[in-house]
């Protein structure tokens, strides 16, 4: 009986020591709060000049097209400060609200010069994707519909819903996202971060 009580108190003491050490050392990184996207943008803006989107261009090699569906070299991304991946679809009502705003921003802020947008469609087929592109006169690039899965972009960068805008620097780091962890910030927040970074 005494042995049982001794083991109980020993286990209790070990647990208290563990909690004390944990409090001093801090919470493990896996449980820590996500990095503030605005802070991420400021930090990333300092390093974006060191890359030429080599990783992204490799993922998109042979898979990129212009707004009319014609194949285009990934060299079109090489000199851009930022590349924004736009995960969207013609069947998505919120996308229809945001896409005209993105077109307006792109045209007003020198899209295609300092930054480029790459559309990654969730439409059912190429025809539906092209119909959506034509409806809003999207001036940016797109991943060919039959190459979207092979590109690996959705697995690597997409959030849990659309519209989803992901802002990347030249090294492939996400500087600003429509998602903060599992919370949806929305694409308008990414445009705000991009506007600040372009100044």
What is the per-residue pLDDT for 33?
Answer: 26
**Could you list the residue range(s) of the whole structural domain that residue 8 is in?**
1-32
Both 15 and 94 in one domain: the answer is no
Residue 80, domain CATH: 3.40.30.10
Q: How many residues does the chain have?
A: 199
The model scores a pTM over 0.85: no
| pLDDT, tens digit (0-9, with 9 covering 90-100), for 113-166 | 999 999 999 999 999 999 999 999 999 999 999 999 999 999 999 999 999 999
Both 21 and 75 in one domain: the answer is no
Q: How confident is the model at residue 38 (pLDDT cuts 50, 70, 90)?
A: very low
Both 92 and 114 in one domain: the answer is yes
Q: Are 37 and 185 in contact (CB under 8 A)?
A: yes
Both 40 and 105 in one domain: the answer is yes
Taking the C-alpha atoms of residue 183 and residue 160, their distance in angstroms, rounded to an integer, is: 9
Both 72 and 101 in one domain: the answer is yes
Q: How far is CA 70 from CA 25, 73, 158, in A?
A: 55, 10, 24
Residue 100: CB atoms within 10 Å: 12
Both 46 and 127 in one domain: the answer is yes
Domain count, the chain: 2
Both 19 and 71 in one domain: the answer is no
| pLDDT, tens digit (0-9, with 9 covering 90-100), for 84-102 | 999 999 999 999 999 999 9
Both 119 and 72 in one domain: the answer is yes
Give the residue carrying structure tokens 């919120």.
Answer: 94
Both 10 and 44 in one domain: the answer is no
Both 84 and 163 in one domain: the answer is yes
Both 137 and 94 in one domain: the answer is yes
Taking the C-alpha atoms of residue 114 and residue 172, their distance in angstroms, rounded to an integer, is: 16
């Amino acid at each position: 009986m005494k042995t049982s009580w001794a083991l109980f108190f020993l286990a209790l003491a070990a647990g208290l020591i563990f909690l004390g050490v944990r409090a001093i050392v801090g919470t493990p990184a896996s449980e820590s709060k996500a990095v503030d996207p605005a802070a991420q943008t400021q930090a990333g803006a300092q390093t974006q000049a060191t890359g030429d989107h080599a990783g992204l261009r490799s993922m998109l090699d042979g898979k990129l097209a212009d707004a009319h569906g014609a194949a285009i070299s990934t060299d079109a991304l090489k000199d851009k400060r930022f590349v924004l991946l736009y995960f969207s679809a013609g069947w998505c009502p919120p996308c229809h609200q945001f896409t005209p705003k993105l077109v307006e921003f792109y045209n007003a802020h020198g899209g295609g010069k300092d930054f480029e947008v790459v559309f990654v469609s969730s439409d059912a087929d190429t025809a539906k994707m092209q119909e959506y592109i034509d409806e809003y006169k999207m001036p940016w690039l797109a991943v060919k519909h039959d190459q979207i899965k092979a590109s690996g972009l959705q697995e690597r960068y997409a959030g849990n819903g659309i519209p989803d805008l992901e802002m990347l620097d030249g090294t492939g780091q996400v500087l600003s996202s429509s998602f903060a962890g599992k919370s949806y910030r929305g694409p308008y927040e990414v445009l705000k971060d991009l506007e600040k970074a372009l100044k």
